[in-house]
């Protein structure tokens, strides 16, 4: 059992941290305040190749394996203080691009992957609806076949990247009312410029504010049958086979955030003096920091186990659910500790610690809530439902 990373992965980690610290942090507070994606920072990330890390080199990407990508994303989270930008990149990669990598036809790959890889196209995942979030099979958006097209009607809501996206990985019902739910869903690759596609509103959020979120309307949108992803009626199977990526690697950057904030807390415990001595000599402070380190290391192990399984070509529903649950809840707990350790500075917007907490809040919700992950783990262990 080897826990080391390769020389190439170590070099990637150093270069990404150096890039992020130098290029991505100046606009972080302003992007959060304005709730706006920093498009210049997006272009810089694309220039480094981040937007195409999992895309094969034949389509303009880097072709990195999942463990290498986990190393890179952890480094990005460590170096970049604009967590919303990092989250937008992750949505682009794991909720759109990787679906095309794994399930797209050659024509679809040639058409969409080069633009997604070089960042000139931004991807989004149009799944959630006003009446269905965790209940994926309860969605109402419908797609009716008419000749060589499918006509889409429906509303998708709380869609990350929607206001800026060029490509929507969209799920809709194609089966009739009597079709089994699991066989009624179909996936489509929908271009934003198709008639009948509109982003009807933008949502204001507590955290990850520089990832813009919107509501997408499909009103008689005619999608060419050539944009069907996989087979008709196989959307649910496609979703369950690809969600491993989102539930594991999307959270790799949070490991980097936890590591960075831990370093900040150690420095604060050493430098902040009260009653004539550093606050780090107090057991209450020391133990919080120790707990932050324990959470970090255990969450990191869960991440890399899931990434290793994906590198080996295995399905990883249990490991990805465990990783998602462990990382998101550890991240939130550690950001709460960071605010407490920094006192008033932790609570004030000027110092940036409270932004880390706000950004951590959503992690236990998006990608499947903590409650859903616990249900998945219990079911996979054979616990009756």
- State the first-to-last Cα distance of the chain, in angstroms, to the nearest integer: 35
3-class DSSP state of 102: helix
Q: Is 249 exposed, middle or buried (0-12, 13-18, 19+ CB in 10 A)?
A: buried
**155 — phi, psi (to 5°)?**
-125, 130
Both tokens of 178, joined, read: 């009597």
Candidate list 74, 212, 217, 246, residue with the active-site label: 246
Q: What does the alpha-carbon distance between residue 91 and residue 213 come to, in Å, rounded to a whole number?
A: 11
**160 — phi, psi (to 5°)?**
-65, 140
Q: What does the alpha-carbon distance between residue 97 and residue 91 come to, in Å, rounded to a whole number?
A: 9
The answer to whether the beta carbons of residues 362 and 208 sit under 8 Å apart is yes
Q: How many residues does the chain have?
A: 385
The answer to whether the beta carbons of residues 346 and 339 sit under 8 Å apart is yes
Query: 213-224 and 167-173 as β-strands: parallel, antiparallel, unpaired?
Result: unpaired
> Is 246 considered catalytic here?
yes
* Residues recognised as catalytic: 246
């Amino acid at each position: 059992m080897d826990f080391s990373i390769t020389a190439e992965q170590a070099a990637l980690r150093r270069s990404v941290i150096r890039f992020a610290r130098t290029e991505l942090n100046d606009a972080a507070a302003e992007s959060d305040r304005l709730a706006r994606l920093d498009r210049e920072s997006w272009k810089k990330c694309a220039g480094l190749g981040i937007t195409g890390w999992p895309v094969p080199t034949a389509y303009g990407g880097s072709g990195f394996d999942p463990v290498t990508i986990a190393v890179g994303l952890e480094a990005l989270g460590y170096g970049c203080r604009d967590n919303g930008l990092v989250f937008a990149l992750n949505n682009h990669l794991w909720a759109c691009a990787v679906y095309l990598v794994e399930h797209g036809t050659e024509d679809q790959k040639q058409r969409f992957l080069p633009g997604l890889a070089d960042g000139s196209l931004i991807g989004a995942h149009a799944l959630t609806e006003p009446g269905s979030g965790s209940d994926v099979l309860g969605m109402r958006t419908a797609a009716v076949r008419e000749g060589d097209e499918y006509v889409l009607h429906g509303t998708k809501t709380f869609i990350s990247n929607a206001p800026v996206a060029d490509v929507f990985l969209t799920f809709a019902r194609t089966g009739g009312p009597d079709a089994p739910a699991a066989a009624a869903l179909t996936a489509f690759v929908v271009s934003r410029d198709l008639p009948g596609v509109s982003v009807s509103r933008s949502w204001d959020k507590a955290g990850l504010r520089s990832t813009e979120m919107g509501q997408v309307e499909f009103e008689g949108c005619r999608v060419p049958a050539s944009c069907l992803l996989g087979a008709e009626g196989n959307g649910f199977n496609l979703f369950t086979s690809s969600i491993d990526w989102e539930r594991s690697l999307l959270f790799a950057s949070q490991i980097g955030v936890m590591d960075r904030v831990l370093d900040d807390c150690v420095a604060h415990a050493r430098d902040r003096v009260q009653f004539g001595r550093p606050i780090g000599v107090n057991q209450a402070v020391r133990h919080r920091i120790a707990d932050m380190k324990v959470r970090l290391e255990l969450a990191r192990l869960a991440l890399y186990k899931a990434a290793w399984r994906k590198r080996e070509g295995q399905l990883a529903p249990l490991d990805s659910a465990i990783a998602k649950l462990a990382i998101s809840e550890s991240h939130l707990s550690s950001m709460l500790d960071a605010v407490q350790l920094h006192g008033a500075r932790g609570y004030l917007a000027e110092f940036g610690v409270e932004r880390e907490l706000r950004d951590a809040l959503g992690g236990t919700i998006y990608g499947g809530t903590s409650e859903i992950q616990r249900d998945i783990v219990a079911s996979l262990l054979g616990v009756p439902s």
